[in-house]
């Protein structure tokens, strides 16, 4: 259900909009159209449905895909902790060895940076993620310079 993962004001606007159809629990299996989107096919375990449409918004949820990052500190929801969000308990021997705190966007693993939706405390918007990625480049350069000097 939309309400499980979205703010109620957004759910209300979506459900009450006369030009929006919500197909919960369906998988988009085909897009069709000559030069622009004209229809989609959605399927579930019980049905397949062709839907005429000119636009598609696919909400994939807000669960971070961080399980593959073994040994990296995450918050209670699985979002990756970075820089000021990392308390001393998250910083291990590697940080003691290099004698510094994490740079902006740096994770609990020195030299590994996280930006965008995966990062705990991020705005969860595309423009913000792009900006964070651009800003993190400065930290990457600083990390490389510090590593070269070591």
Q: pLDDT per residue over 22-71, tens digit each?
A: 888 888 899 999 888 999 999 999 999 999 998 887 665 577 888 888 88
- Asked whether residue 1 carries a pLDDT value surpassing 80, the answer given is no
% of the chain beyond a pLDDT of 90? 48
Taken as a whole, the chain contains a residue count of 150
pTM > 0.75: no
HSE-CB for 76 with a 13 A CA cutoff: 0
Q: How far apart are CA 84 and CA 71, in angstroms?
A: 18
Q: Where is pLDDT greater, at 100 or 3?
A: 100
d(CA 104, CA 140): 9
pLDDT at 83 over 90: yes
């Amino acid at each position: 259900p939309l309400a499980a993962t979205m703010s109620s004001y957004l759910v209300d606007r979506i459900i009450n909009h006369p030009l929006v159809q919500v197909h919960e629990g369906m998988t988009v299996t085909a897009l069709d159209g000559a030069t622009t989107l004209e229809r989609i096919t959605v399927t579930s375990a019980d049905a397949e449905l062709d839907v005429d449409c000119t636009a598609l918004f696919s909400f994939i949820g807000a669960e971070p895909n961080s399980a593959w990052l073994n040994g990296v500190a995450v918050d209670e929801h699985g979002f990756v902790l970075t820089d000021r969000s990392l308390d001393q308990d998250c910083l291990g021997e590697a940080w003691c060895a290099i004698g510094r705190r994490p740079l902006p966007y740096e994770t609990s693993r020195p030299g590994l940076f996280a930006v965008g939706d995966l990062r705990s405390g991020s705005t969860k918007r595309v423009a913000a993620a792009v900006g964070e990625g651009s800003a993190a480049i400065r930290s990457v350069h600083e990390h490389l310079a510090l590593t070269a000097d070591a």
